[in-house]
Amino acid sequence: MAEVILMPRLSDTMTEGVIAAWHKKVGDPVKKGDLLAEIETDKATMELESYKDGILLHVGADKGGKLQVNDLLAIIGQAGEDISAHVNGGGAAAAAPQAAPAAEAAPAAQPAAQQPATAALDLSKMEEVVLMPRLSDTMTEGVIAAWHKKVGDDVKKGDLLAEIETDKATMELESYKNGKVLFLGADKGQKIAVNDLLCVIGEEGKVDVQAIVAASKGEATAAPAASAPAASQAAAPAATATQQAATAPAASLNGDGRIKASPLAKKIAADKGIDLAQVPGTGDGGRITRNDIENFKPQAAPAAAPQAAAEAPKAAPVPVVAGEEGYQDINLSQMRKVIAKRLGESKFSAPHFYLTMEINMDKAMEARPAMNEVSAAKISFNDMVVKAAAMALRKHPAVNSSWMGDYIRQYNHVHVGVAVAIEDGLIVPVVRFADQKPLSAIAAETKELAGKAKAKKLQPNEFSGNTFTISNLGMMDIEEFTAIINPPDSAILAVGRIKEVVVRKGDGFGVTNVMKVTLSADHRSVDGAVGAAFLQTLKRFLENPVTMLV
């Protein structure tokens, strides 16, 4: 069956996208994960990967053409498949004529056949329908971190509607229009696939919500009478759950009886298995904050200590360990899932090779204090590595590349990703045009991006588009390590700590400061000699930092 791909919403302010380039043409075979197109948004040009295997049957616009968010972008299916219903905006309209013969053959089903065929609704064209946007370049589904509006609430254009947890960050989703919230597609904590129904906003009484929901599920609106008992049975457990929730201890409740807590506090509490009702809030109006969760200590269960147990040491001087085996299953976050998927694909599909080099950092250590005397932002050794690597990439463009399957793409720009460890895993903010920026600008930008990453406030254009990546564990006393290449890069540089070593100097011995770096490279696009030459250039820049300022 043909798969319709709609124009994704690749930034928080995007309303339309421009086709910067198609990497497949109509008739080409496409595999899941293949680069399909480059989309220019209001903030950046981002790559769009295919969601499935098949043949590219249709494109919604040529190179340079504009498409609104949720307009038809492409159709992927099997060769010779009829896609006229999708191209004409009919969706599954082709299935409607088939219902008539079935109704004639089965008179008992005639009342249901007379109902409107909601499956023919094209939700992407309906102004009242809000679909799950694709908020990162690798996102396939989103988790509802928090709703800021509930059914029945009035919404204005620009109002904060929800917080969506993607594979890389938790992002805020604003309303596109004015109206009333008529339907929510999922509760907090539930997942919705990209382009599935997120919510319905419109004028009450003028929108057929039931038809929209049924169309999103590929069902008809006519509900058989037999479903009524099932619905009533389902309502009973729900009512019981509501009564149980009402009996829970009320802490930090707002006017409608819900616990007041920040989205991050709720997420941490869920991960740690902490009942929010037991946590006292110290925020405004008793709101529970992240610190409240992290500082919360559950009341210890009363210890049963019989007198006989107290006398046990006297009778048996050998201590008896009453251990209990156990384990804890930790649910995967969206970020952790994507890290596992992408790095697994990188490690087992790209033939890695590794080159390690030792760099003398004496002059870098001498130059850094002098640089910081005139720099507005404090320059770190990692900032110096970023600058040196960017300038070395300019001299060795073969390392600044991506393996594209049947060709190698060498980039004319140098965008250096800097790996940042956060609570849920790892994210790579990108310093764009790093080779052209002074050290003070790189220092200020990396500090700002790292802060945004840890607060989960990065925008898609701030963590995408890297052409090379640096991972530094030197601040954690790691001397050397190897890193897995961060797709779509062809190489990643692992940086260890600076340590003092005794070396021969003249007729005697002295202490010098050295740092080990290891380049992991994809042998499909980078040869060993090319990687070694890159490291030699990097070494020259770091061992004589003044050359980076010329």
Classify residue 47: in a domain, yes or no. Answer: yes
pLDDT tens across 512-528, in order? 999 999 999 999 999 99
Going from the C-alpha of 382 to that of each of 172, 336, 445, 529, 531, the distances in angstroms are: 31, 25, 12, 25, 20
Question: Count of domains in the chain?
Answer: 3
CATH of the domain at 488: 3.30.559.10
pLDDT tens across 166-210, in order? 876 778 788 877 899 999 999 998 999 888 889 999 988 888 888
Contact between residue 377 and residue 443 where contact means Cβ atoms under 8 Å apart = yes
Residue 529 clears pLDDT 50, i.e. is over it: yes
**Highest mean pLDDT: which range of 35-44, 109-118, 294-303:** 35-44
Classify residue 259: in a domain, yes or no. Answer: no
Q: Which residues are within 8 A (CB) of 525 and not within 5 positions of it... i.e. 6 or more apart?
A: 398, 401, 402, 403, 408, 490
Please say which residue of 168, 185, 216 terminates a domain.
Answer: 216
Residue 501 clears pLDDT 80, i.e. is over it: yes
Residue 298's identity, in one-letter code, is P
The 8-class DSSP code of residue 259 comes to: B
Is the sign of the CA dihedral 161, 166, 171, 176 positive or negative? negative
Please say which residue of 61, 84, 107 terminates a domain.
Answer: 84
Report the greatest alpha carbon distance in the chain.
106
Note whether 80 and 127 are same-domain residues: no
Spot the catalytic one: 148, 352, 413, 523.
Answer: 523
C-beta pairs of 299-306 under 8 Å, 24+ apart in sequence = none
Note whether 368 and 434 are same-domain residues: yes
Contact between residue 510 and residue 502 where contact means Cβ atoms under 8 Å apart = yes
Classify residue 10: in a domain, yes or no. Answer: yes
Query: What is the rounded CA–CA span in Å between residue 293 and residue 190?
Result: 22
pLDDT tens across 63-84, in order? 988 888 888 888 888 888 888 8
Q: Average the pLDDT over each of 212-221, 291-300, 305-314 and give the range with the smallest value.
A: 305-314
Give the residue-averaged pLDDT of 456-475.
91
Classify residue 467: in a domain, yes or no. Answer: yes
Which backbone phi and psi does 264 adopt, to 5 degrees?
-65, -40
Model pLDDT, residue 433: 96
Active site residue 86: no
Model pLDDT, residue 222: 44
Classify residue 450: in a domain, yes or no. Answer: yes
Note whether 189 and 54 are same-domain residues: no
Say which residue, 258 or 111, is predicted with more confidence: 258
Note whether 188 and 80 are same-domain residues: no
Active site residue 527: yes
Note whether 382 and 510 are same-domain residues: yes
pLDDT tens across 340-386, in order? 888 899 999 999 999 999 999 999 999 999 999 999 999 999 999 99
Note whether 7 and 127 are same-domain residues: no
Classify residue 45: in a domain, yes or no. Answer: yes
Say which residue, 324 or 199, is predicted with more confidence: 199
Note whether 413 and 496 are same-domain residues: yes
Which backbone phi and psi does 387 adopt, to 5 degrees?
-65, -45
Say which residue, 495 or 136, is predicted with more confidence: 495
Note whether 79 and 128 are same-domain residues: no
What whole-number percentage of the chain has pLDDT above 70? 80
Confidence of residue 109 (pLDDT cuts 50, 70, 90): very low
Angle 376-380-386 from CA coordinates, rounded to 5°: 105
Note whether 38 and 146 are same-domain residues: no
Note whether 393 and 484 are same-domain residues: yes
Q: Which DSSP helix (H) or strand (E) runs through 535?
A: helix 528-543
Q: What is the 3-state secondary structure (H, E, C) of 141-181?
A: EEEEEEECCCCCCEECCCCEEEEEECCCCEEEEECCCCEEE
CATH of the domain at 16: 2.40.50.100
Classify residue 390: in a domain, yes or no. Answer: yes
pLDDT tens across 207-244, in order? 888 888 888 887 644 444 444 344 444 444 444 444 44
Model pLDDT, residue 219: 62
Note whether 127 and 80 are same-domain residues: no
- Cα distance between the two ends of the chain: 59
Give the residue-averaged pLDDT of 35-61.
80
Give the residue-averaged pLDDT of 318-345.
83
Note whether 538 and 406 are same-domain residues: yes
Query: What is the rounded CA–CA span in Å between residue 4 and residue 2?
Result: 6
Query: What is the rounded CA–CA span in Å between residue 43 and residue 16?
Result: 11
Model pLDDT, residue 366: 94
Classify residue 289: in a domain, yes or no. Answer: no
Residue 249 clears pLDDT 60, i.e. is over it: no
Model pLDDT, residue 457: 86
Residue 125's identity, in one-letter code, is K
Please say which residue of 216, 233, 252 terminates a domain.
Answer: 216
Q: Which residues are within 8 A (CB) of 417 and not within 5 positions of it... i.e. 6 or more apart?
A: 428, 429, 430, 431, 463, 466, 468, 469, 470, 486, 489
Which runs of E-coded beta strand occur in 196-328?
197-202
Q: Which residues constitute the domain of residue 493?
A: 349-548
